[in-house]
Structure 1
Amino acid sequence: MLINEFSDNLSKYKLPEEYDETYKNYTADLDFIEAYLGENKSTIIELACGTGRLAIPLAKRGHTVYGVDIDQGMLHFAQEMARKKGVDIHLSVQDCTQLNLPIKSDFIYMTGNSFQHFLTNESQDALFMSVKKHLNPAGEFLFDTRNPILHELAKDEIYEESIDKNGETCTVINQETYDPLTQILHCTSTYTSSQKEYKDRIKLRYTYPLEMQRLLEQHGFELIHIYGSWTKATFDANSISMVIHARLKNA
């Protein structure tokens, strides 16, 4: 695993098998991307590709997929899944703010709200600059991030839930605290079963719509569309997500 500013924010992903099991049936983002790409076979780049939930089916449809992720464990799981399903994807451990791929593409995408891992203005800027270097002229960048809904973020939350882990009931206590100065939500989950107790943590940056518009313009992108979900719901103040579809402007 690369050691950098993201390295201490990855404990949610330490069990790739469980992560994949949790999200394997979610397909709204995949459906959106498949419809966008259509029947044309493309060379595409996926950022923060994780366990290959999107990269593998897209490669199976004939696209040449380059997937990058900062977590070696997630990529190892993706490679094994691709091998089992008989598809070839190009995977590499990389920091998305310092991409170094041998190709450029007309299309780069990033899903799963991974944009929220870029916690500072500097890392957001570096991401866009890195993406820009790997896009062809008029290439497109598609990604999502959670929409900041202020009345939800304004109050600290503690809630308990029960989940099944490996056939055993596990109690999870989730704590969430939002820092309005940094725009970062601090989340801690404590898992307790009859066998053990452990915690994981994650920090998530929230970006506001006008901030996003300025970021895109600053880095030479034009907004094609902003949706409130991967099912193309209209974006408004109460939308859970911002799905951003942007195009690199001609120089």
Structure 2
Amino acid sequence: MSKKHIFKENLEKYADPEMYDHLYEGYQKDLNIILEWAKSDLPIIELACGTGRLTIPMAKRGFQIIGVDIHEGMLERAKQKAKEQMVSIEFILQDCSQLSIPVKGSLVFMTGNSFQHFLTNEVQDALLQSVRQHLVKDGLFIFDTRNPLLNELAAVDEYEQKYIDIEGNQIIEFHRDEYDSLTQILHCHTNREIYEGHALLAKEQDGISLRFSFPLEMERMLKNNGFEILEVYGDWDKNELNEKSISMVYVCQVRN
């Protein structure tokens, strides 16, 4: 399976960029840590930038920033928002594991657990090498990934979720998540019902596959790809990483 095929088959969750914004645009905790490490003297690159949730506020603060994503629809939404908010950002449609940008940055960051989209050892290594090649000496890479909590991954998980969409319709989602312990991939399947009042308007379904990596695995992977871990947190509030942490947030530096 080619790298391109892996990604193209795993983008169903991002079919509606406006709904993505509706659900996630207000989240800013990751921005706070990124700003702590950001320097304004060289370009900054955001990978898997989506609709510009972080790229745009970084640009508003005066940073020269480049946003990269493989999903054309998300990038078009980001460009529209940047134009409306009168900020200048270069958005690039590329596979983050095969970056080809004619600049090197002082910081590359990737949030929203996007690291979990890189499903194989080969593609994870390709991503890290791609990042390293686009960083200056002592450059930083900041990213997050979910902490694999075995009590949550050990069995098939089924649950229901309700929310209101941007048009005021009620959405009911029925989720079924199945974890493959050999590949460390969680396969998530969603059946969705859309209601206007009590009337069923439509039914939809989608899915996504997410790779989980363990803390010691991450340490070895980063070291083997030329990075030194400066900080690791259990969430974007900078709590210590432990066996109950929901996330692993890494601040890494290119190792000389």
TM range (shorter): over 0.9
Matches of 1:244 and 1:34, distance apart in 2: 14
Using structure 1 for the length normalisation, give the TM-score: 0.96
Matches of 2:218 and 2:99, distance apart in 1: 21
| Structure 2: unaligned runs, 5 residues or longer | 195-199
Contact 1:189 1:201 in 2 (8 A): yes
CA RMSD of aligned residues (A): 1.2
1:9 is paired with a residue of what secondary structure? Answer: coil
Misfit runs of 4+, over 2 Å: 35-38
Matches of 2:237 and 2:243, distance apart in 1: 17
2:91 is paired with a residue of what secondary structure? Answer: strand
1:12 is paired with a residue of what secondary structure? Answer: helix
Is 2:34 the partner of 1:33? yes
How far the C-alpha of 1:44 sits from its partner, in A, is 0.2
User: After superposition, where does 1:66-215 map in structure 2 within 5 Å?
Assistant: 66-165=66-165, 166-193=167-194, 194-215=200-221
Matches of 1:49 and 1:42, distance apart in 2: 18
Superposed CA offset, 1:162-203 (max 9, x none): 221221222210110100000000001111121110101000
Matches of 2:169 and 2:111, distance apart in 1: 30
Is 2:26 the partner of 1:20? no
How far the C-alpha of 1:41 sits from its partner, in A, is 5.0
1:6 is paired with a residue of what secondary structure? Answer: helix
Percent identity over the alignment is 47
Contact 2:38 2:107 in 1 (8 A): no
1:5 is paired with a residue of what secondary structure? Answer: helix
Superposed CA offset, 1:53-90 (max 9, x none): 00001011110111100000000000000000000001
Matches of 2:155 and 2:92, distance apart in 1: 39
Is 2:233 the partner of 1:227? yes
Matches of 2:219 and 2:171, distance apart in 1: 42
Aligned residues: 248
Matches of 1:105 and 1:169, distance apart in 2: 43
